[in-house]
Amino acid sequence: MEKFEVLRSTAVPLPIENIDTDQIIPARFLKATSREGFGENLFRDWRFDNTGQPKADFVMNTGRYSGRILVAGKNFGCGSSREHAAWAIHDAGFKVVISSFFADIFKGNALNNGLLPLQVSDEVLERLLNQIEQDPQTTLVVNLVNQELEVPVWEEKFSFEIDAYKKECMINGYDDIDFLVNQKEAIEQYESNRPWAY
Amino acid sequence: MAKTLLDKIWDAHVVKSIPGGLDVFYIDRHLIHEVTSPQAFDEIEARGLPLFRKEQIVATADHNVPTKNQHLPIEEPLSRFQVDKLTENCAKHNIELYGLGHQNQGIVHVMGPELGITQPGMTIVCGDSHTSTHGAFGAIAFGIGTSQVAQVMASQCLLLSKPKSMRITVDGGVKPGVTAKDIILYVISKLGTGGATGYFVEYAGSAFRALSMEGRMTVCNMSIEMGARGGMIAPDQTTFDYLNGREFAPKGEKWEQAVAYWSTLYTEEGATFDKELFFDAADIAPMITFGTNPGMGMALNAVIPTDVPASEQASYSKSLSYMGFAPGESLLGKEIQYVFIGSCTNSRIEDLRQVAKYVQGKKKAAHVEAIIVPGSKQVEKQAIEEGIDKVLAEAGFELREPGCSACLAMNEDKIPAGAYCVSTSNRNFEGRQGPGSRTLLASPLVAAITAVEGKIVDITQYLN
């Protein structure tokens, strides 16, 4: 997993609520057996028409917005457990998704892939979306070490929550497998003492 | 302190707690399928790790298998490749695989319970969000991502923080025509699509107690549709009767010991939940969804709500515009083109029986295509033994072979753009059943009546 400490970037606004994983990456694109290449089908049916031509009015096609931060409406990533959703967003070049609420499984999948799900309040989200739509050049600074989102043009910083262990993993590029495999002795000990297990 | 059902099972599976609130959490059963496992096998192979407990893994092919001519090679090359990859990986690692053609093959969440692989008190995971289905047996069961699939393969554990607890109690008897599907669609319509995010739900009360195991599975299956990590129902005599004698259920003395232990799995008097909700079963009517998430449901004879908070207005309008509906509108009389009866939510034998019972001696409307996809080879076999296949065929319904099918349209079974489909599946997301498809979620009974009438009707007038 890539290491993550501080990211300074412009952002892409997607002010839609309840963006589900079928919109992020439709099921028909889940047939690949590797983790790469899902980015080209990110938001496929919003981004392209049924002949494969880009839809001019979608935020990723207007030419107005760019950057490595996606700012999306609340309850982002609801629906299926497909990790392909996190892979697709990451593969398309994003390192951070900002929303006011994330679905659980998506959040976990994102963290396992070096994609930071950054939760802000509904109010801050609305301000951010307005700011970016008014000035697409607005730069945001995501500081994972200090757990702060800075909006320099407002001269404001917002702190965000992240599990201490997950933060450590993202900063160092570690993942859970490394940790769990090292617990083998404790796991075997546990297994030997389950009289109720059938 | 009095414990909840969740506390009891969770605590029994904590290998150790680490600073910062995470638990090394042990997994009893790991179910895998072709779509979310290949990258996990690659991951552990790339790291040179062995499978830690391969005998606790069971595999099946379900997500992108065709539902016609399963005895022939899969035509679609990418699907064939993915299914072949699963076969190859299972052979290499010596994992039990119920592949195409196997008598136990089926949708992973239909297969596990019907074989008795799913049991009370267990922890069960699968790279599929509808793993919550298995909670119907009083198990902690939930969907995981592919990185976690690899973690379980490598260690039989996950690193998790304990979810918050929520109890949803529905008491009382239900009205005629109201099924398990209607109860859960009603609950989700009250909570919204993110209303239980962060929580593990226990369903309690006489309305759930009265359900069969298959009905309970339908309820727990859709827990994820309100964001819940999982849903569970305490095991009782209904659970034990269902499991007794199934292939992988404990036998003889072990069965007695198991039932004695399972009987201790309930929420104790005085135990507290982070959130409690109560509903009256009498308030629930046959349901249908009108929008593009499962929280957008209403009684069949209601009108599409108009009282939406200003902050949600834009998303609400986008959703209704996709569906071709307007606020304040009734769905009664709307013509539909497709009916899909299947998916891990509603493809079990009781669902098929209910459909067959209604359509016996009737014909589907001429303009409707009605597809019925059994959840597993076992369900298919039983349907044929009971003559359900013939009843369905006479009514113009096509009984296919098992798989996930048009629930997520990874195989050939797709709903065309713009067409309306009344579906017994679990998600009505944009394009879920094929690009541009418009899904209305409902019970198998509502689906069967809709297929015969060719349009949305108030089913209460059709019940006798």
Is B293 at the interface with chain A, CB within 8 A?
yes
- The pLDDT assigned to B324 comes to 98
Is A184 at the interface with chain B, CB within 8 A?
yes
Helix (H) or strand (E) holding B168: strand B164-171
Burial class (CB in 10 A: 0-12, 13-18, 19+), B292: buried
Say if the Cβ atoms of B147 and A83 lie within 8 Å: yes
- The pLDDT assigned to B120 comes to 98
Say if the Cβ atoms of A27 and B432 lie within 8 Å: yes
CB–CB contacts below 8 A, A to B: 194
- Rounded Cα distance, A108 and A117, in Å: 9
Using alpha carbons, list the distances in angstroms from residue B351 to B119, B355, B383.
22, 6, 10
Is B108 at the interface with chain A, CB within 8 A?
no
The 10s digit of each residue's pLDDT in B265-308 is 999 999 999 999 999 999 999 999 999 999 999 999 999 999 99
Say if the Cβ atoms of B42 and A34 lie within 8 Å: yes
Interface of B with A in 246-265 (CB under 8 A): 250, 254, 257-258, 261
Q: Which residues of B touch A58 (CB under 8 A)?
A: none
> How far does the CA of residue A186 sit from the closest CA of chain B (Å)?
7
Say if the Cβ atoms of B194 and A122 lie within 8 Å: no
CB atoms within 10 A of CB B128: 28
- The pLDDT assigned to A196 comes to 75
Say if the Cβ atoms of B128 and A112 lie within 8 Å: no
Q: Which residues of A touch B261 (CB under 8 A)?
A: 196, 198
Average pLDDT over chain B reads 97
Is A81 at the interface with chain B, CB within 8 A?
yes
> How far does the CA of residue B33 sit from the closest CA of chain A (Å)?
12
Tokens representing B119 are 């049991």
The answer to whether A11 and A140 are in contact (CB under 8 A) is yes
In this predicted structure, the answer to whether residue A198 has a pLDDT above a threshold of 80 is no
Mutation target vs A (from B159, B317, B320, B432; most A CBs, 10 A cutoff): B159
Is A188 at the interface with chain B, CB within 8 A?
no
- Phi-psi category of residue B192: left, alpha or beta, with phi > 0 → left and psi -120 to 50 → alpha: left
Q: Which residues of B touch A127 (CB under 8 A)?
A: none
In this predicted structure, the answer to whether residue B464 has a pLDDT above a threshold of 80 is no
The 10s digit of each residue's pLDDT in B338-376 is 999 999 999 999 999 999 999 999 999 999 999 999 999
Mutation target vs A (from B125, B157, B199, B247; most A CBs, 10 A cutoff): B157
Which amino acid is residue B130, in one-letter code? H
The answer to whether B192 and B295 are in contact (CB under 8 A) is yes
The 10s digit of each residue's pLDDT in B94-133 is 999 999 999 999 999 999 999 999 999 999 999 999 999 9
Chain-centroid distance of CA B57 in Å reads: 20
Say if the Cβ atoms of B119 and A82 lie within 8 Å: no
Q: Which residues of A touch B163 (CB under 8 A)?
A: 104
Is A139 at the interface with chain B, CB within 8 A?
no
In this predicted structure, the answer to whether residue A2 has a pLDDT above a threshold of 90 is no
Is A79 at the interface with chain B, CB within 8 A?
yes
Spatial CB neighbours of B132, under 8 Å, sequence gap ≥ 6: B141, B142, B143, B220, B221, B222, B223, B224, B228, B229, B230, B231
Annotate B185-230 with DSSP letters as a single string: HHHHHHH-TTTTTTEEEEEESHHHHTS-HHHHHHHHHGGGGGT-SE
- The pLDDT assigned to B133 comes to 98
Provide the percentage of residues in chain B whose pLDDT is more than 90: 98
Is B191 at the interface with chain A, CB within 8 A?
no
Chain-centroid distance of CA B145 in Å reads: 17
The answer to whether B339 and B370 are in contact (CB under 8 A) is yes
Using alpha carbons, list the distances in angstroms from residue B184 to A5, A27, A124, B194.
43, 24, 34, 14
- Rounded Cα distance, B306 and B283, in Å: 20
Provide the percentage of residues in chain A whose pLDDT is more than 70: 99
- Rounded Cα distance, B130 and B124, in Å: 11
Task: Give the pLDDT band of residue B48 (cuts 50, 70, 90).
Answer: very high
Is B55 at the interface with chain A, CB within 8 A?
no
* Nearest chain A residue (CA) to B433: A27
- Rounded Cα distance, B362 and B341, in Å: 17
Nearest to B148 by CA among B121, B126, B163, B129: B126
The 10s digit of each residue's pLDDT in A92-142 is 999 999 999 999 999 999 999 999 999 999 999 999 999 999 999 999 999
Nearest to B286 by CA among B440, B57, B129, B161: B440
The 10s digit of each residue's pLDDT in A147-187 is 999 999 999 999 999 999 999 999 999 889 999 999 999 99
Tokens representing B57 are 């893994």
Is B312 at the interface with chain A, CB within 8 A?
yes
A76-112 as b/e, with b when 16 or more CB fall inside 10 Å? bbbbbbbbbbbbbbbbbebbbbbbbbbbbbbbbbbbb
* Nearest chain A residue (CA) to B146: A83
Rounded to an integer, the average pLDDT of B311-337 is: 96
Q: Nearest CB to A28: which of B15, B38, B409?
A: B409
- The pLDDT assigned to A1 comes to 83
* Residue list, annotated binding site of B for [4Fe-4S] cluster: 344, 404, 407
Provide the percentage of residues in chain B whose pLDDT is more than 70: 100
- Rounded Cα distance, B144 and B148, in Å: 6
Which SS3 state, helix, strand or coil, does residue A131 take?
A: helix
* Nearest chain A residue (CA) to B414: A28
- Rounded Cα distance, B384 and A30, in Å: 33
- The pLDDT assigned to B19 comes to 84
